[in-house]
Amino acid sequence: MAFVGSSSFMPRGGKPQLSSTRAARVNVPKMTIEYVGNEPQVRQAGTDCLKDYITRRAVKTVLFYLREFHDGATEKWLNRFENFTQKEKEFFDWQGYIERMFEAESVEGVEVFAHPKGYYRREFKFTIEPSGVARKILASREHLAEEWKQDLNLMDMENLEITRMHYELLMNPGADLEPLKERILDVDPMDDESSPLRVPNYRSIRTLATHYAAHRILQRMKEKSNHHFMWLSEYLQTHPIGPDSEAFLYNLLREEAVVRTNPDTYISPKKVAQMIMNCRTTVGKEWIEDLELVKSDNLAIQRRVLQRRAGDLFDGLRSETEQM
């Protein structure tokens, strides 16, 4: 049976607001190369990039659950809060985002369901508590952190699989590699222990680790070999790491060797690819250690919010006492 649904939101004491949702593609934060004159300068994401990113994915996970449980009102509110859908790519202040959500006012509204031809119309009142939504996001962060600590350990196996496919094609030119590929992360879709977005999350975090590794290697080259540095910086500009980091590494392995002069330098793209793969394994291990802090970060945020609320309450009581 067809129906039309709409929601109106009203912060307590405020005016009604309408909201709509739209699909948003998740992109990993990119590190770029900017040129100052003829000198490439590596611009990397901030040190909190991983924490920002896991919070973004936690919000997306909560949105998925809200959609699955048909809580359209809360889904629309969360999409609209600080324009998350529109500003997702520029999400770089996870602590401030969560704290502001804790401090946001409760929202009351009416969910309306009506038949297109007017056969029926139903209205349901609802109340959204932003602090409750914030707690769901923090819980999702902890769940994702546990998953990512497992999944980041798969970088070595991913590297071996890329290398195996490379040699398979060398031995059998023109072979169809798709049937030969092994799935490194094999998740049962009916597994209740895994988050619903585990596979796309894994692909994204794998790509993010490849970004970090490539630019870390680029920075090392800048200190040791200008020819290698210039070659890789140009390659990253002409062959950016897209959503499929494995395709980037696979294509890099197949690049022809390059010889540069003044001084004479032999550049092996295959060796560069191997350096990036080894480095992303290291990055993965570093991130596993960082993910151990997610739970304590969550507790610290909630502690700050409670302290601020307690301080406001104390100031209010003191003000009332002074007026008596």
| Inside any domain, residue 186 | no
Say what the pTM is.
0.80
What's the domain count of the chain?
Answer: 1
Measured CA to CA, the distance from residue 140 to residue 301 in angstroms comes to: 15
| Inside any domain, residue 239 | yes
Task: Name the band, by pLDDT with cuts 50, 70 and 90, for residue 182.
Answer: confident
The position carrying tokens 């250690």 is 289
Mean pLDDT, residues 306-324 taken together: 71
Going by the DSSP 8-state scheme, the letter that residue 84 receives in this structure is H
pLDDT in tens, 59-99: 999 999 999 999 999 999 999 999 998 887 778 889 999 99
pLDDT of the residue at 87:
81
Mean pLDDT, residues 196-200 taken together: 92
* Type of residue found at 301: I
| Inside any domain, residue 181 | no
Q: Which helix (H) or strand (E) holds 156?
A: helix 155-171
Mean pLDDT, residues 161-168 taken together: 90
- Residues 6 or more apart whose CB falls under 8 angstroms from that of 68 comprise 196
Q: Is the pLDDT of residue 124 over 90?
A: no
| Inside any domain, residue 184 | no
Measured CA to CA, the distance from residue 221 to residue 230 in angstroms comes to: 9
Q: Measured at the alpha carbon of residue 131, what is the angle toward residues 128 and 134, in degrees to the nearest 5?
A: 105
| Inside any domain, residue 183 | no
| Inside any domain, residue 220 | yes
Mean pLDDT, residues 217-222 taken together: 92
| Inside any domain, residue 59 | yes
| Inside any domain, residue 192 | no
Q: What is the mean pLDDT of the chain?
A: 83
Task: Name the band, by pLDDT with cuts 50, 70 and 90, for residue 8.
Answer: low
What does the block give as tokens for 290?
């960082």
* Structural domain harbouring 294: 4-173+197-323
Q: 24-28, 58-62, 167-171, 295-299: which has the minimum mean pLDDT?
A: 24-28
**CA distances to 153, 213, 214 from 274, in Å:** 17, 11, 11
Q: What is the dihedral of CA 77, 83, 85, 86, to 10 degrees?
A: 150
**Among candidates 65, 195, 225, which has minimal Cα distance to 133?**
65
